Amino acid sequence: MLTLLSGRRADLSRETMYRLAKFRHKVFIQELGWSLPTDNGIEFDNFDHADTLYVVACDRNGEVVGCGRLLPTDEPYLLGEVFADLMGDASLPHARNVWELSRFAMSMPRGESLTAEESWQNTRAMMSEIVRVAHANGANRLIAFSVLGNERLLKRMGVNVHRAAPPQMIEGKPTLPFWIEIDEQTRAALNLDGVECSGGVPLDMLRSLDAPHAFERAT
Would you list the DSSP string of 130-154? HHHHHHHTT-SEEEEEEEHHHHHHH
Q: Kindly state whether residue 142 falls inside one of the protein's structural domains.
A: yes
Alpha carbons 211 and 82: distance in angstroms, whole number: 27
Residue 219 within a domain? no
Residue 151 · residue 82 · CB < 8 Å: no
* Other beta carbons within 10 Å of 119: 19
The helix (run of H) or strand (run of E) holding residue 165 is none
Kindly report the pTM of this predicted structure.
Answer: 0.87
**What pLDDT is recorded for position 194?**
62
**CATH number of the domain that 39 lies in?**
3.40.630.30
Report the pLDDT value the prediction gives residue 201, as an integer from 0 to 100: 37
Per-residue pLDDT, 163:
97
Question: Going by C-beta distance under 8 Å and a sequence separation of 6 or more, which residues neighbour residue 56?
Answer: 4, 5, 6, 12, 16, 20, 64, 66, 67
Q: What pLDDT score does 209 carry?
A: 36
Name the residue range of residue 114's domain.
2-214
Residue 139 maps to a domain = yes
pLDDT of 98: 99
**What is the predicted pLDDT for the residue at 53?**
98
Which stretches in the chain have pLDDT values below 70?
A: 1, 109-111, 114, 194-219
DSSP at 91:
P
pLDDT reported for residue 214: 58
In a domain, 135, yes or no: yes
Count of domains for the chain: 1
Q: What's the pLDDT at 1? A: 66
DSSP state letters, 194-212: T----S-EEE--S---SS-
The pLDDT assigned to 109 comes to 65
